[in-house]
Every structure is written in structure tokens, then in C-alpha cells.
Amino acid sequence: MKLSNDNLHKFTKNIKRPSYDRSSITPGIVHIGLGNFHRAHQSWYLHRLMEQGMAMDWGIIGAGVRPADNLQRDRLAQQDFLTTLIELDPKAISAEIVGSMIGFVPVEEDNAALIAQMADPAIRIVSLTVTEGGYYIDPISKTFDEQHPDIQHDAKNPEKPRTAFGAMIAALKIRRKKGMTAFTAQSCDNLQGNGAILRETIVSLAARSDADLANWIDQNCSFPNSMVDCIVPATSDKELELAKTFGIDDAAPVTHENFRQWVIEDNFCAGRPNWEKVGVTFTNDVHDFEAMKIRILNGGHQLISNVGEILSIETISGCMEETLISEYFKETANTEIAKQVKPLPEMVLQEYVDLIVERFSNPKIFDTVRRVAFDGSSRHTGFLLPTLMDALEKNQPMDGLALSQAIWARMCEGTREDGTKIEPNDPIWDKLNDTAIAAKLDPSVWLKQSTLYGDLSQNVTFQKKFEYWFNLIWSRGVLETLKIYIGK
């Protein structure tokens, strides 16, 4: 049956569905970037509160700023903004229908509808999942990239912004003019210090056109840091067919692993749902949780996905089935990355690495190597290079981390070891590809990409390690190179 409000009661009893009256939900959150992760994570936590009769005034209004977001809006509107979540537990697969989202603003070039929605006093939180590279922050200096064409446009045209951040500023300007309170701006992306980064982007952009408004935003908005965690594959025909095995015709189902975690600073200027009642952790030590997750899980994803791409392995679980790849991850995570992570009272680092191994190895999760390896220019600089820099500064082991950069460079050359072509998989793919090809003659060329490596390119220890591994990969292949690193 088609997923819809009218059909909810008709689905079989083994499918969980909203027990609350969706018609009584009123909006409280606008979420920009309504992809799979948001619907499997933040939306689900809110849904669980509604199941307990709470947070009915915190309904989610979806939003997007790209033309392609209209397709998602249309898909979800046709099924009353319901989503089927399919949990891929290795022991059993189950389905649940989530109903916490109640609308999706029209996607417009000038973002007028989005601005109007965020200016509504009922909206108290504006949250985002716009990917790690979507914050206009220079990867090396970690400062606001005011020269980006999108930023230049929004600075000159603040009433007709192109970016999500420009739209948020325009809405806050209206709220300020009308004497309304500000809203909480909540990043839910995999960025260490994501709230601080969001503040930097919004306040810096606002200052380009209205310094007084920028100061008001800085003083009145809150930007809580948070750590989000759940492996959520992209939706393909496979997921559409999986939903149908439950008897659900869902145009945008979401599969996810049997694990979720959300850690947030309790810093909400206009109130928030009682998320702590459904398992969310509120703490002032978000940074330590972030560092552990981003460096070990997200960094680990880059370690194995780049190898998988070179070897024509389709999925992350497929990578973990290759003993040398899983051993590479475990060795690097335990002996190099974990040394640069502050231990938490709640988690022994060795146990956390073991948990990640278990999650990556889940054969039910069809998480593609291509999805995980996408946008390496943002993910390597955000997830791996800070750990590498810390290890170098402390004169601690970093061979596996240096090897990760050699593997990435090998992948960016654009061909797999079986001779097939690797399609562009990065916003700056052409530059990476040209540099990787040139590096075959002179490996140092790769490290001279200052927008990626900054002063790291001048570190002799790193340079020698990188060149050693890079040359070894090209002469003996990636698996033989992993074998040498592991010591087999």
C-alpha cells in the first residue's frame, strides 16, 4: 500500500507506526538538508517523544536550498511527509513509520518561503545537515571563506540569499525587527565543534552586510555543539524494494544500522524538546565525544573506503571481509588514532574501536564505498589530518595515517587496480585527479596542495613516510602495501 496518513492503520501489526494524532502536531523546528540521516536520527528521536505524548509542538518542517531538493519535497509530500525506517540489525530486519515531520517549504531561488517559515515565532530551532564541506570554512585556516561566490552573492543580496545561512540571517533580521526572540541554530553535521563552526559562518556572513545584526545574532542566538552517530546508507532501488517486502510503497524509505547516539550541549535560547527522555545525552563535554567519534569512526571510514574503491569492493562491510583492510583499520585506530583521543569515563577506547569494527562489518548495511569516499577533500582534512598533525607534534606513531594519504592519492588517480575507471567523486575532483597523476612522477606534488595540507607539506617526517607508502602502492599494489604496514 502507498504510504499515507489514510493507510497507516492498514499496515500489518509487525510494522510500528505513529500512535499519536499527527493532525495535532504544530511546527517548532525547521530542518535544512532533509536527507536520509536526518530522518533516521533527529527526526526519529522526536518521533519517540511524540510516542510518549510529548513534544507535539515541535513538529519538523523540512527545507532545502538546492533545486534538487524539490524532488525530495515532492516525494515526501505525496506520502504526507511520512518516512519508513528500516533497521538493519544483523539478527533481524524491522520497519517503523515515523511521523514527526509535517511539512516541507517550497524550494525557491531567493529562499523567500524558507525565510518566512523561519521568521514564524513558532519556530524555535533551525537545524541543519548540509554535509561537512557545506559551511564555507577554509579547511586549513578553519576561518570563514568570504571569497566564495555564494558568500559574495549573499553579502550583496541579503534579502535574496542563495545559501541556507543567508536565509537564516534574513529570517533573524525579520525576527529582530519585529521584537521577536532569536532561534537556536543547531548543526547536526559531522564536524568537530559544529556549533562553533555554524556560529562563525552565520555571524561572519551577517557582518558582511549588517554589522549590528551580526552582533545581535552573536548575542541572542545559541549554537549548541553536538555529536551525531548512526550509519545511514543512501536510498537506491534496493531500499525501495526492501520497503515493499513489508508491504509499504514508500518513495523515500531509509535504512539504518541498529545503533544511534546523539550528544548535545544544553544551550537552546528558545527552548527544546525533552530529548533526554529518549536517550539523548546532554553534556558540557561534547568535544570529547566528538573527537572520539569523528577521529575513529569517520576517520576510519576514510581509511577503508579509499582502499575499497581501489580494489573494486562495493560496500563497507565488503571491505571489512578483506582481512588486510580490517587489520589496517584496527592497527591504525588502536595504535595511532586512539593515542590522540581523550578517553571518556563512559567508554574504553579499545572497546569503542571494537564497536566500530562490529558496526562496519554489519552485512545487512549496504553502505557503498562510493558514498563513504565522497568529498575526500573535506573528509580527510576534517577527520584524518588533525589526528596526523597531533601525532607528528607529539612524535608518536603515524605510519598508518601517512599511508591513508598515499592511498587517497592513489584513488584520486582515477583508475582501480583492475583497470576500471573511478568516476569523479569530489567537488574538486579534476584538481585532485590531475595532481594524483602528476604525483606518479613526483610524489611531493600531492603534498604541495596547500588548501589541503598547509604546513604539513613541509614536515620532513610526514613527507618521507608519504613518499615511501605512495611509491610502494604503485610498485606492489595496495594489498601488499597493507601487508607490509601490518607486519605480515
Q: Based on the domain organization, do 192 and 53 belong to the same domain?
A: yes
Q: What percent of the chain has pLDDT over 70?
A: 100
Q: State the chain's mean pLDDT as an integer.
A: 95
CA-wise closest residue to 360 among 402, 302, 401, 316: 316
- Residue at which a domain ends, from 284, 305, 321: 284
Q: Based on the domain organization, do 310 and 435 belong to the same domain?
A: yes
For range 107-118, the mean pLDDT: 96
Q: Give 101's Cβ-side CA count (13 Å radius).
A: 31
- Residue at which a domain ends, from 284, 299, 324: 284
- In the numeric block, which cell numbers belong to residue 472? 610502494
What does residue 467 show for φ and ψ, rounded to 5 degrees? -65, -35
Distance CA 242, CA 95 (A): 10
**What pLDDT shows up at residue 445?**
97
Q: Based on the domain organization, do 138 and 81 belong to the same domain?
A: yes
pLDDT digits (tens, 9 = 90+) for 371-403: 999 999 999 999 999 999 999 999 999 999 999
Q: What is the DSSP string of 66-83?
A: STTHHHHHHHHHTTTT-E
> Is residue 80 included in any domain, yes or no?
yes
**What pLDDT shows up at residue 488?**
66
**What pLDDT shows up at residue 103?**
98
pLDDT digits (tens, 9 = 90+) for 198-217: 999 999 999 999 999 999 99
For range 344-355, the mean pLDDT: 89
> Is residue 3 included in any domain, yes or no?
no
**C-beta neighbour count of 348 within 10 angstroms:** 11
For range 396-425, the mean pLDDT: 98
Full domain range(s) for residue 410: 287-486
CATH of the domain at 81: 3.40.50.720
The residue with cell 533526554 is: 276
Higher pLDDT: 48 or 12? It is 48
